[in-house]
Amino acid sequence: MRRMLTFANRTMKEILRDPLTIAFGLGFPLIILLLLSLIQANIPVQMFEIQHLTPGITVFGLSFMTLFSAQLISHDRESSFLTRLYTTPLKAHEFILGYLLPILPLCIVQSIICYIVAMILGLPFSINIVWAILMNLVPSLLFIAIGLLCGSAMNQKQVGGICGALLTNLSAWLSGIWFDISMLGKAIGGFANALPFIHAVELERAVLVGNFSSALSHLLWVAAYAVVMLVVAVFMFLKQMNKQ
Amino acid sequence: MKNAIEIKELTKDYKDIRAVDHLNLEIQDGELFALLGVNGAGKTTTIKMLCCITKPDEGDAFLKGNSICTDSEKVKAIIGVSPQETAVAKNLSVTENLQLICGVHGFDKQTTQEKISQMIEQFNLQSVKNKKASKLSGGWQRRLSIAMALISNPEILFLDEPTLGLDVIARSELWDQIRTLKGKMTIILTTHYMEEAEELSDRIGIMRDGHLLAVGTADALKKMAGKEKFEEAFIAIVKGGAK
């Protein structure tokens, strides 16, 4: 336990001390929240109403956590840092937990800050905000697992492309955060619905308005994706470890 | 003298390439042994197998009597490794990097503090102890990397290309550090630099295509190859011209 916590502590420090974490992980989602709220103030659009927008932004922000974790793991592999640690008594599960666990509180802090800014912008406080923040742990797990998978399977350049460009765009455009997915037609709408991102956003929206019965199906969808992704990611990490 | 390392028929294949081919070697306790060879000779693969990072396809090796195939946990507890590239946590300070290694070895708080102070003094890291590793020069990073390998008091230390890419002053300083370790533990050093192997090692092993071509002191290898300079002897042995 002590060994894993030491390694987890290092993971958190590495991520928090990277200025890009603050710039993208926190700054970018907040800028979008502010900009779209500004548009909403001038040209009212239901999609951009603060109680509708904020849950989507908290989910979108998680895609940056995928990027950070994937970059760190990929860098550790390429720089031989992991090779060094493989020669220490650290065990495989301690590596995996040491990469996964420290990012969860970062996801929570990111959601809390988004909701605080949303309240400043007019979102009325309710206990459902707390539930929404807690429920965001499930999508967080999904995004962190994608990070572990990408970091284990790709080099830093590929991580930048896949996580930095593809994943952030997928979670931005196919999640129904800023427009109704049905506008894209049946095929793309069906594709988007098969992915977990739209369900993560709908889960958060439903919880925020207290519609827990509607949230359940989305929760199960996202949780199933998270579990599968986690299993694949762990398998890939162990494969890389043995491939050494 | 007892053997610290006994390598028996160690073999590793990567797809169609045999990286290490039935390697047999014994390294004595307290010896500084250098593995020399051109690129692809099998040095790093040999080190990776001895450090339990890579599993051998055939054969075995025993580090202080512990098999790399069946006792990898015991092996990991007695070795220290400084990998080829400078493997430090870039956003952590020098002290934090040392703390990290103490932590993953499970040392308590007091032991950790004692060991960090000891390493900082031994490697003259006082002036940079609070600096982030990413802000250090290559020479300082390499010093830190070796300090990280030594902090667990290993009985066997692996230094994979420890001075690669360093300027002449940084290299000389690092050689001084390595000299201070001689005799206190068994050290396996891989290098491309002939003068490094000649200057630091008790014995040298020359590898090519996964085979160990020759083993001996620098003088013995020069004599064997019939050359005056060690570099010429190395070339002669690798090219197969040694008599």
pLDDT, one tens digit per residue, over A125-155 is: 999 999 999 999 999 999 999 999 999 998 8
Helix ranges, chain A (H) = 2-16, 19-20, 28-42, 50-78, 81-86, 92-100, 103-120, 127-135, 137-153, 156-159, 168-173, 186-194, 197-208, 212-243
To test the contact with chain A by mutation, choose from B52, B57, B104, B141 the residue with the greatest count of A C-beta atoms within 10 A, namely B104
Q: State pLDDT tens for residues A172-190.
A: 888 888 888 888 888 888 9
Q: CA A201, CA A196: separation in Å to the nearest integer?
A: 9
Confidence grade of residue B242 (pLDDT, cut at 50, 70, 90): very low
Residue of chain B minimizing CA distance to A98: B104
Give the H or E element holding residue A163: none
The CA R_g of chain A, rounded to the nearest whole Å, is: 18
Which of A78, A87, A97 is the best mutation test for B, with the most CBs of B within 10 A?
A87
Q: What's the mean pLDDT when you consider all of chain B?
A: 89
Q: How far apart are CA A6 and CA B102, in angstroms?
A: 9
Position A41 scores a pLDDT of 81
pLDDT band at B241 (very low <50, low <70, confident <90, very high): very low
pLDDT of amino acid B166: 76
DSSP A48: G
pLDDT at position B146 = 86
| pLDDT digit string, tens, across residues B4-23 | 999 999 999 988 889 999 99
Q: Is B84 close to A17, i.e. CB distance below 8 A?
A: no
User: With contacts defined as CB-CB under 8 Å, which chain A residues touch B105?
Assistant: 3, 88-89
B177-218: pLDDT as tens digits? 888 888 889 999 998 888 889 989 999 999 999 999 999 999
Asked if pLDDT for residue A210 goes beyond 80, the answer is yes
CA A206 to CA B176: how far, in whole Å?
Answer: 66
**Burial of B117 by CB count in 10 Å (0-12 exposed, 13-18 middle, 19+ buried)?**
middle
Q: Tell me the per-residue pLDDT of B123-162, one tens digit each, with 9 for 90 and over.
A: 888 999 999 999 998 888 888 988 898 898 899 999 988 8
Stated pTM of the model: 0.82
Task: State the virtual CA torsion across A24, A26, A28, A32 in degrees, nearest 10.
Answer: 160
In this prediction, what percent of chain A has a pLDDT beyond 70? 100
pLDDT tens digits, residue range B68-127? Answer: 999 988 999 899 988 877 789 999 999 999 999 999 988 999 999 999 998 998 888 899
Give dist(CA B174, CA B146) in Å, integer.
Answer: 9
Residues of chain A neighbouring B81 (CB-CB closer than 8 A)? 83-84, 87
- Report which residue type is found at B128: V
With a CB cutoff of 8 Å and minimum separation 6, the contacts of B155 are B4, B64, B78, B79, B185, B186
Question: What whole-number distance in Å separates Cα of residue A25 and Cα of residue A21?
Answer: 5
d(CA B112, CA B98) in angstroms, rounded, equals: 8
CA distance linking residue B7 with residue A14, whole number of Å? 38
CA A30 from centroid of its chain's CA atoms: 15
Gap between the Cα atoms of A195 and A169, Å rounded: 13
Which helix H or strand E contains B208, and what residues bound it? Answer: strand B203-208
Burial class (CB in 10 A: 0-12, 13-18, 19+), A5: middle
Instruction: Give pLDDT, residue A3.
Output: 87
| Region B46-65 average pLDDT | 93
Look up residue B141 and give its amino acid.
Answer: Q
Chain A interface residues facing chain B, Cβ-Cβ under 8 Å? 2-3, 5-7, 9-10, 13-14, 17-18, 75, 79-81, 83-90, 242, 244
Chain B residues near residue A97 by CB distance under 8 angstroms: none
pLDDT of residue B1: 63
Asked if B91 and A18 come within 8 Å (Cβ–Cβ), the reply is yes
ipTM over cut 0.90: no
pLDDT > 70 fraction of chain B, expressed in percent and rounded? 98
From A237's Cα to the closest Cα of chain B, the distance in A is: 14
Closest-approach residue (CA) in chain A for B108: A2
Strands B32-37 and B203-208: parallel
Whether residue A83 and residue B87 make contact (CB cut-off 8 A), yes or no, is yes
pLDDT above 50 for A78: yes
DSSP 8-state code for residue B143: H
